Amino acid sequence: MELKENNVVVSKSLTTKAKLIPLGFVQSAHGLKGEVLIVLDSGEPLEPFPTTLYAGQKSSLEKDLQTLEIENIRWAQKGPLIQFQGYHQRSQAESLKGLTLYFDSEAFQSEQFHLFEVLGFLVQIQKGKTVKNLGYVSHFISHSHQDLLAVKCTDDIKSKKETFKKHEKQVEIPFVASYIQNIDFKAKKMILKLPEGFPGIDDYEV
């Protein structure tokens, strides 16, 4: 498939090996020809952009997600305007409003680094010569000027589970180069050095 206005990568169909990552959500229908405006979870767009997306409610199971093939994409100030195959009328586009969009990270190939690659990574904080565990990257928060890592902090980080306990706290940390000391993709962890007195850090370190 070729898109008119963007370089894309062909994505595989959803399989048991798929690892779905939230991309954003459908904010609204745009125009009369079936386009929708997508609000991305991260301020940085995927490059190349995947051609296959999976749509559903946040509570949907993977087997219940709808597969959407991108027919055309163009970029607006607020985000990508996408037309999916089979959606050529505004009424059809309206049916997608509010749905969360996912992509298969196992099918995504890029030479660039993307935020989703550090989901689930252990975050460690360096103070002087000491490095302490803080928590795990659970998701991202996007602002116009930067992206934030949402780090879930646990009482016992060593016993990481698939879901976090209710009492856990969250610390939001700007994901900027000046804070990053090291990212170990093999060990799935990163070391950050934050400014003195960074909000929340002293409360939740373990």
The per-residue pLDDT for 160 is 44
Give the pLDDT confidence score for residue 55 in this predicted structure. 92
Q: Identify the bridge partners of residue 36 per DSSP, sorted by sequence position.
A: 29, 82
pLDDT band at 203 (very low <50, low <70, confident <90, very high): low
Average pLDDT over residues 198-203: 69
Least confidently predicted of 48-52, 105-109, 111-115:
111-115
At residue 24 the predicted structure's pLDDT band, cuts being 50, 70 and 90, is: confident
Regarding predicted confidence, which is higher, 19 or 133?
A: 133
Domains and CATH numbers, the chain: 8-107 (2.40.30.60), 115-204 (2.30.30.240)
Total-model pTM: 0.55
